[in-house]
Amino acid sequence: MLQIILRRCNAFYKEKNRWWVPLIAGFPFITALPPFNHELHWGFTLFPFLNFFAVIPLLFFALQQPRRRAMLHTYLFAYSTALVQNFWLVFVKIEGLWALIIFAMVIMAAVVAVFFFTAGMAFRWCYRSLPRLYLLFFPACWVVIDYFRTLGEMSFPWGFLGYNFTPFLPLSQLASITGIWGLNFMVVAGNLLVWEIGVAWYRGNDCRRDAIRGAAFIMLMGVIAIWGWMRISKTLKQPTVKIALLQTAIDQLNWGQHSLDTSFMVTDSMVYSAAKGKPDLIVGPESALLCYLSRHFTYRKRVCRWADSTGVPILLGALHWDPAPENSAYDYLVYNTAFLIRPHEREIIPYRKIILVPFSENVPFEGVFPILSRVNLGEADFKRGKEATVYVINDSIRAAPVICYEMIYPAYVRRRLRRGVNLIVHITNDGWFGRTTGPHQHAMMARMRAIENGVAMARCAITGVSMLVDPMGRAFGATKLGERTILEGRLPLRKAATFYARYGDWFVVLCWVMVVGVLGTAAVRWGRGKRRGRSQEPVVSSE
């Protein structure tokens, strides 16, 4: 029956130029993404395993004939996939800029689609040229392409396939060795095995060899899961600290004249409520107080009073400015900033955000081409910080503050955990995206950083999802979107000690070596074949 259905669907697609089919085929991709997993509802338990079917339409469209049709339909599918993955950007309804935001989302999806398209064309080549190696070569290509998504000022490494398995903690422990890259490789390899079985079934061929490969893959996943479960089961003997997270739920979509007073009033009340539990650290979200906190005496005095009267250090987000250097296009340099306020200290310590959101917080390449400073796309026009600040909060806590978008860069977070850091503090403002999949996806990516490095994380989001995450990735008390609440709990303090924390993106290097080696061998063979073809051509006499 399934074979008949597949053949009829293929015939329907091929009998005409139905270009809209790849566009529709990309929409089911969202069902494999957070929050569709067992942590939302038991009915979604198996949804992340749709990951093993997510890439198959890309493989199908990439093999179409002629090549022009394959390229067009592969890109259309890639665009549709990128759009449903990032549709939540349209919920940033800044007054007067919504049309520009919609346009930016459309363009952003077109750029992200290029990476999926490149992967599709790579599959077209290696499926035909490497019939025995493509099951290993193509996943390696995918990892390399994903790594490219983390590079440059316009990078947007959002939502790699491996993140979807974050809630399956035994399986996701693989990231402590390979980083997210090993999970990406595993997902793509699984798609290829399903593809092989499907093709053999469609053609009526013997499926036993492909079924054996699939069974071996499932057994390998089982071994990884058993090892991961044993790793999680080990008792953590590290000292613990109590942390309180303030999810203030300030609605910045309706930011008005009295919103700053409201944010101070709400934060003031929540700080004193949280202090009753005697935490070692109180954490507020990014943009908790949308003012130039350290430059305004009244505001600075007020937050210092919170720390003095409660005796608890406070870490939260606000704005900061520094005087611009001479001959600068600006009078002041403005930063998206995290501040540490310690009891009985007059100075508050800033961490200036280093990785900025392109076209939202700054214009890319402005440092290279100063004329871009005159471009106004409604961005915040923040400047990039330079110092990777580590907060020494007390005798026990050495925390690395990470602001919002920075958390989706594996290598950056890993570098931040040097110098004896034993706690990640992630503050973010996901309230722009409303009750969509965006905040859930961001939370899952942040959680993966804790697993990769084996360091606990306190994550405070202004409207959710806030959570306390231990070094194994277990989340305690994840909050709901839009609720104003205080989340308290204890976290073990442990320095980064995983294989990934020590050796970094070694798995990416391995994939690079594989890709370069295979391409180099293919180029040599192609060159020899071309020379051999020329030597066999008849010699034409000049007489």
pLDDT, one tens digit for every residue, the chain (543 residues): 667 777 888 788 888 788 899 999 999 999 999 999 988 889 999 999 999 999 999 999 999 999 999 999 999 999 999 999 988 888 776 666 677 778 888 888 999 999 999 999 999 999 988 887 899 999 999 999 999 999 988 899 998 999 999 999 999 999 999 999 999 999 999 999 999 998 888 888 888 888 999 999 999 999 999 999 999 998 667 889 999 999 999 876 656 556 788 899 999 999 999 999 999 999 999 999 989 999 999 999 999 999 999 999 999 999 999 998 877 777 889 999 999 999 999 889 999 999 998 877 877 766 655 555 555 555 567 899 999 999 999 889 999 999 999 999 999 999 999 889 999 999 999 988 888 999 999 999 999 999 999 999 999 999 989 999 999 999 988 999 999 999 999 999 999 989 999 999 999 999 999 999 988 888 877 777 766 666 555 444 433
Q: What is the pTM of this model?
A: 0.92
Long-range contacts of range 269-273, CB-CB < 8 Å, 24 or more positions apart?
270/246, 270/484, 270/486, 271/246, 271/306, 271/310, 271/314, 272/306, 272/309, 272/310, 273/486
**Nearest CA among 496, 495, 494, 477 for reference residue 486:** 477
Q: What is the 3-state secondary structure (H, E, C) of 400-452?
A: EEEEHHHHHCHHHHHHHCCCCCCEEEEEECCHHHCCCHHHHHHHHHHHHHHHH
Structural element, H or E, at residue 10:
helix 2-14
Distance, CA of 350 to CA of 337 (rounded, Å): 6
| Residue 312: strand, helix, or coil | coil
- Could you report the per-residue pLDDT of 29-60, keeping only the tens digit for each? 999 999 999 888 899 999 999 999 999 999 99
- Could you report the per-residue pLDDT of 113-127, keeping only the tens digit for each? 999 999 999 999 999
DSSP 292: B
Q: How many residues belong to the chain?
A: 543
**Nearest CA among 137, 163, 135 for reference residue 149:** 163
φ, ψ of residue 321 in degrees (nearest 5): -130, 150
Q: Read off the amino acid at residue 235.
A: T
Which domains does the chain carry? Answer: 2-234+512-521 (no CATH), 240-500 (3.60.110.10)
Tokens 């919002």 belong to 404
Distance, CA of 185 to CA of 191 (rounded, Å): 10
